[in-house]
Protein backbone atom coordinates (compact mmCIF):
# COMPACT_ATOMS: atom_id res chain seq x y z
CA UNK A 1 0.00 0.00 0.00
CA UNK A 2 1.38 3.37 -1.02
CA UNK A 3 1.05 6.04 1.68
CA UNK A 4 1.44 9.62 0.56
CA UNK A 5 3.01 12.34 2.66
CA UNK A 6 -0.36 13.85 3.52
CA UNK A 7 -1.57 10.55 4.98
CA UNK A 8 1.57 9.84 6.99
CA UNK A 9 0.72 10.23 10.72
CA UNK A 10 4.39 10.70 11.62
CA UNK A 11 4.59 13.69 9.30
CA UNK A 12 1.51 15.18 10.95
CA UNK A 13 3.04 14.71 14.39
CA UNK A 14 6.33 16.21 13.20
CA UNK A 15 4.44 19.23 11.86
CA UNK A 16 2.56 19.72 15.12
CA UNK A 17 5.77 19.34 17.12
CA UNK A 18 7.58 21.80 14.84
CA UNK A 19 4.86 24.43 15.20
CA UNK A 20 4.61 23.89 18.96
CA UNK A 21 8.35 24.11 19.60
CA UNK A 22 8.68 27.19 17.39
CA UNK A 23 5.82 28.83 19.29
CA UNK A 24 7.51 28.05 22.62
CA UNK A 25 10.82 29.42 21.34
CA UNK A 26 9.14 32.56 20.01
CA UNK A 27 7.16 33.15 23.21
CA UNK A 28 10.09 32.67 25.58
CA UNK A 29 12.35 34.72 23.30
CA UNK A 30 9.87 37.58 23.66
CA UNK A 31 9.75 37.18 27.42
CA UNK A 32 13.53 36.89 27.86
CA UNK A 33 14.09 40.07 25.85
CA UNK A 34 11.28 41.83 27.70
CA UNK A 35 9.80 43.26 24.51
CA UNK A 36 6.06 43.54 23.96
CA UNK A 37 5.35 44.48 20.35
CA UNK A 38 1.72 45.14 21.29
CA UNK A 39 2.53 47.93 23.79
CA UNK A 40 3.71 51.27 22.37
CA UNK A 41 5.76 53.37 24.79
CA UNK A 42 7.05 56.14 22.53
CA UNK A 43 10.18 56.52 20.44
CA UNK A 44 12.14 54.35 22.89
CA UNK A 45 9.86 51.54 21.68
CA UNK A 46 12.17 50.99 18.69
CA UNK A 47 15.27 49.73 20.49
CA UNK A 48 17.93 47.23 19.38
CA UNK A 49 16.19 44.57 21.47
CA UNK A 50 12.97 45.34 19.59
CA UNK A 51 14.79 44.72 16.30
CA UNK A 52 16.10 41.40 17.63
CA UNK A 53 12.58 40.46 18.76
CA UNK A 54 10.95 41.40 15.45
CA UNK A 55 13.56 39.97 13.06
CA UNK A 56 15.92 37.47 14.69
CA UNK A 57 13.63 35.50 17.02
CA UNK A 58 11.07 34.73 14.26
CA UNK A 59 13.92 33.98 11.82
CA UNK A 60 15.29 31.31 14.17
CA UNK A 61 11.73 30.10 14.81
CA UNK A 62 11.19 29.59 11.07
CA UNK A 63 14.49 27.73 10.77
CA UNK A 64 13.46 25.52 13.67
CA UNK A 65 10.22 24.59 11.92
CA UNK A 66 12.05 23.66 8.71
CA UNK A 67 14.70 21.66 10.51
CA UNK A 68 12.11 19.63 12.43
CA UNK A 69 9.52 19.21 9.68
CA UNK A 70 11.80 18.86 6.67
CA UNK A 71 10.58 19.33 3.12
CA UNK A 72 7.59 21.67 3.26
CA UNK A 73 8.66 23.40 6.47
CA UNK A 74 8.76 26.71 4.64
CA UNK A 75 4.96 26.53 4.43
CA UNK A 76 4.47 25.71 8.11
CA UNK A 77 6.75 28.45 9.42
CA UNK A 78 4.01 31.07 8.84
CA UNK A 79 1.92 29.84 11.75
CA UNK A 80 4.04 30.07 14.95
CA UNK A 81 4.66 33.84 14.86
CA UNK A 82 1.05 34.57 13.89
CA UNK A 83 -0.30 32.47 16.74
CA UNK A 84 2.16 33.86 19.32
CA UNK A 85 1.49 37.47 18.28
CA UNK A 86 -2.31 36.95 18.36
CA UNK A 87 -2.18 35.38 21.82
CA UNK A 88 0.09 38.17 23.06
CA UNK A 89 -2.20 40.89 21.68
CA UNK A 90 -5.24 39.23 23.27
CA UNK A 91 -3.36 38.92 26.57
CA UNK A 92 -2.55 42.63 26.67
CA UNK A 93 -5.94 43.79 25.37
CA UNK A 94 -8.20 41.63 27.54
CA UNK A 95 -6.25 40.10 30.40
CA UNK A 96 -3.27 42.05 31.79
CA UNK A 97 -4.08 45.49 30.45
CA UNK A 98 -1.81 48.24 29.23
CA UNK A 99 0.82 49.56 31.66
CA UNK A 100 0.79 53.17 32.84
CA UNK A 101 2.31 55.56 30.28
CA UNK A 102 1.89 53.19 27.35
CA UNK A 103 -0.74 52.55 24.73
CA UNK A 104 -2.06 49.42 23.06
CA UNK A 105 -0.79 49.30 19.50
CA UNK A 106 -3.64 50.11 17.08
CA UNK A 107 -4.77 46.98 15.27
CA UNK A 108 -3.64 48.29 11.86
CA UNK A 109 -0.08 48.96 13.01
CA UNK A 110 -0.01 45.72 14.93
CA UNK A 111 -1.04 43.92 11.74
CA UNK A 112 1.85 45.54 9.88
CA UNK A 113 4.29 44.36 12.54
CA UNK A 114 2.81 40.86 12.40
CA UNK A 115 3.43 40.80 8.65
CA UNK A 116 7.06 41.84 9.22
CA UNK A 117 7.50 39.16 11.90
CA UNK A 118 5.95 36.47 9.68
CA UNK A 119 8.17 37.43 6.76
CA UNK A 120 11.24 37.11 8.98
CA UNK A 121 10.03 33.62 9.93
CA UNK A 122 9.50 32.73 6.26
CA UNK A 123 13.06 33.74 5.41
CA UNK A 124 14.26 31.51 8.23
CA UNK A 125 12.01 28.69 7.03
CA UNK A 126 13.30 28.84 3.48
CA UNK A 127 16.93 29.01 4.61
CA UNK A 128 16.36 26.17 7.06
CA UNK A 129 14.91 24.01 4.33
CA UNK A 130 17.77 24.85 1.97
CA UNK A 131 20.28 23.99 4.71
CA UNK A 132 18.61 20.67 5.46
CA UNK A 133 17.98 19.51 1.90
CA UNK A 134 20.81 21.36 0.18
CA UNK A 135 18.35 22.21 -2.56
CA UNK A 136 15.35 24.44 -3.04
CA UNK A 137 12.05 23.12 -4.35
CA UNK A 138 10.23 19.82 -4.43
CA UNK A 139 12.63 17.76 -6.54
CA UNK A 140 14.25 14.88 -4.69
CA UNK A 141 17.95 15.20 -4.12
CA UNK A 142 18.83 12.05 -6.08
CA UNK A 143 17.14 13.48 -9.18
CA UNK A 144 19.32 16.56 -9.36
CA UNK A 145 21.77 16.74 -12.22
CA UNK A 146 24.69 17.17 -9.83
CA UNK A 147 24.09 13.80 -8.20
CA UNK A 148 23.41 11.74 -11.31
CA UNK A 149 26.17 9.38 -12.33
CA UNK A 150 28.05 10.97 -15.20
CA UNK A 151 29.32 8.93 -18.11
CA UNK A 152 33.06 8.63 -18.29
CA UNK A 153 34.71 10.57 -21.11
CA UNK A 154 35.70 8.44 -24.08
CA UNK A 155 39.34 7.90 -24.78
CA UNK A 156 40.24 10.00 -27.87
CA UNK A 157 43.09 7.68 -28.86
CA UNK A 158 40.92 4.56 -29.06
Q: At what angle do helices 57-69 and 9-33 cross, to 10 degrees?
A: 160
With 0-12 / 13-18 / 19 or more C-beta atoms within 10 angstroms meaning exposed / middle / buried, residue 90 is exposed
Domain that residue 82 falls in: 8-143
Residues 6+ apart with CB under 8 A from 11: 5, 69
Flag whether 151 is in a domain.
no
CA angle 83, 129, 14 (to 5 degrees): 55
Q: What is the pLDDT along the chain (158 residues), one digit of tens a residue?
A: 455 555 677 888 999 999 999 999 999 999 999 888 888 888 878 889 999 999 999 999 999 999 898 888 888 999 999 999 999 999 988 888 888 888 888 888 889 999 999 999 999 999 988 887 755 556 665 555 555 566 677 767 65
Total count of domains within the chain: 1
pTM, entire model: 0.77
Closest CA to 22 of 69, 92, 86: 69
Amino acid sequence: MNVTATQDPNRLLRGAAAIGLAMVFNHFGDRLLGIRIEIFTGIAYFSPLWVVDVFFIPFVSGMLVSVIYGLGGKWLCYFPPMIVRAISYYEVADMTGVPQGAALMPLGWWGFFVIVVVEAAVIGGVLGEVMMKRTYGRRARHLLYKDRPRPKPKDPGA
